[in-house]
């Protein structure tokens, strides 16, 4: 007999992130109690998350919550929760395209949906931003295949491919693809600890609110290591001041306590890709780049007049594969452009992988939640 509450979950890697996945029915129905449970399960707030499942980093402080959908034409609803190691926050406003890759495998593993044949495709609604996508998973012999030849930078080895076809990502959090109404904005930034500066940015949201700027305009090359950028206090101070200013311009209000917009430095490609990126999420430099951040920065590359113009090396045609270089490799995004409107992206698709790491129960103190007890 245990003095703790046991909650079923699967611990999964999705793309280059990982965390526990829950059936919504196994969690408290009221949000404040649910959030307390998630914080206890992950071990937050504590920078090491020593008392929970968290991995002491934002990329490994993530949670997936899944349920059968009641929306016509949709199979599964997915709620993503971003936690922070040293904070008591549970943010369900942004998307996470990496954790999204594990949603259909989770649903298949738990019997929420059934295999359809050699491959299984299910439509997923991300509740955070009301975004739909079709996710295709290999299911030979009625089982989820995790082994295969697909490789994604930021995850070791190879795995079975998971294809994600986003159906409508423009304006996922903001009011539109270009929330300021312009493809390029000149922003004046003032604050403590640095001299005032002006900078050209592209404020864009094609799945993730992003502020894109040339690394050179911030006095950096764009090829610095993650460690160098994370130690660059002056740069991070200026980026945060710029983030607060552009958050207002993008209609997001005071973003002080929000995890978006993300801040992305761009530079010419070095390894045969389309461009080089250094992405802040938003205060820590990403070891790679988030799925939807890659989609969004790739979209900026196909818009005439954005800050990527003259930097990005782009293929011809209306169907473009944008290779987004990042600190640990590259991320390819396939974008379809409307032939009648070069500023309109009609399709965004990409490849991810996922793996079931562990199945079982996560334990939380009964003082946090005792099922059946009065709230």
Closest-CA residue to 331 (of 297, 366, 368)? 297
Confidence of residue 170 (pLDDT cuts 50, 70, 90): confident
Domain 4-161+354-365 and domain 185-349 have a common topology? yes
Superfamily for domain range 4-161+354-365: Diaminopimelate Epimerase; Chain A, domain 1 (3.10.310.10)
Q: Is 174 in contact with 250 (CB distance < 8 Å)?
A: yes
pLDDT for residue 334: 87
Q: Which residues pair with 45 in a beta bridge?
A: none
String of DSSP letters for 232-298? -HHHHHHHHHHHHHHHHHTT----TTS--SEEEEEE--SSSSSEEEEEESSSSB-SS--HHHHHHHH
pLDDT for residue 62: 98
63 or 191: whose pLDDT is higher? 63
Confidence of residue 101 (pLDDT cuts 50, 70, 90): very high
Q: Which one is the CATH code of 185-349: 3.40.50.2300, 3.10.310.10, 3.40.50.720, 1.10.3720.10?
A: 3.10.310.10
| 3-state SS assignment for residue 160 | coil
Q: Is 79 in contact with 118 (CB distance < 8 Å)?
A: no
pLDDT for residue 316: 85
Q: Is the dihedral of CA 54, 59, 62, 68 positive or negative?
A: negative
Confidence of residue 49 (pLDDT cuts 50, 70, 90): very high
4 or 153: whose pLDDT is higher? 4
Q: Which residues pair with 133 in a beta bridge?
A: 124, 166
pLDDT for residue 317: 85
Boundaries of every domain in the chain: 4-161+354-365, 185-349
Confidence of residue 375 (pLDDT cuts 50, 70, 90): low
């Amino acid at each position: 007999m245990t003095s703790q509450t046991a909650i079923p979950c699967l611990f999964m890697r999705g793309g280059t992130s990982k965390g526990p996945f829950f059936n919504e029915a196994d969690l408290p129905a009221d949000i404040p109690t649910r959030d307390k449970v998630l914080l206890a399960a992950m071990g937050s707030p504590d920078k090491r998350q020593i008392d929970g499942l968290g991995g002491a980093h934002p990329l490994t402080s993530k949670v997936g919550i899944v349920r059968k959908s009641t929306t016509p034409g949709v199979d599964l609803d997915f709620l993503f929760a971003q936690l922070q190691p040293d904070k008591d926050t549970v943010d369900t406003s942004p998307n996470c395209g990496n954790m999204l890759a594990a949603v259909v495998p989770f649903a298949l593993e738990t019997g929420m949906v059934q295999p359809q044949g050699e491959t299984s495709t299910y439509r997923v609604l991300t509740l955070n931003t009301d975004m739909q996508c079709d996710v295709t998973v290999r299911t030979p012999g009625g089982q989820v295949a995790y082994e295969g030849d697909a490789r994604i930078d930021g995850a070791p080895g190879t795995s079975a491919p998971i294809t994600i076809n986003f159906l409508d990502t423009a304006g996922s959090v903001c009011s539109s693809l270009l929330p300021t109404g312009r493809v390029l904005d000149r922003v004046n930034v003032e604050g403590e600890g640095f001299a005032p500066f002006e900078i050209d940015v592209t404020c864009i949201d094609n799945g993730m609110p992003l502020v894109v700027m040339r690394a050179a305009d911030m006095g950096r090359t764009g090829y610095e290591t993650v460690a160098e950028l994370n130690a660059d206090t002056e740069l991070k101070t200026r980026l945060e001041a710029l983030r607060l200013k552009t958050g207002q311009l993008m209609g997001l209000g005071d973003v002080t306590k929000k995890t978006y917009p993300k801040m992305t430095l761009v530079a010419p490609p070095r390894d045969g890709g389309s461009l080089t990126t250094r992405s802040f999420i938003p205060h820590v430099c990403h070891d790679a780049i988030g799925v939807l951040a890659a989609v969004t920065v790739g979209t900026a590359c196909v818009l005439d007049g954005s800050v990527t113009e003259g930097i990005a090396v782009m293929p011809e045609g209306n169907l473009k594969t944008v290779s987004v270089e990042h600190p640990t490799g590259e991320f390819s995004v396939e974008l379809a452009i409307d032939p009648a409107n070069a500023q309109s992206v009609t399709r965004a698709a990409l490849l991810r992988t996922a793996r079931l790491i562990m199945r079982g129960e996560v334990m939380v103190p009964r003082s946090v939640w005792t099922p059946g007890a009065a709230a």
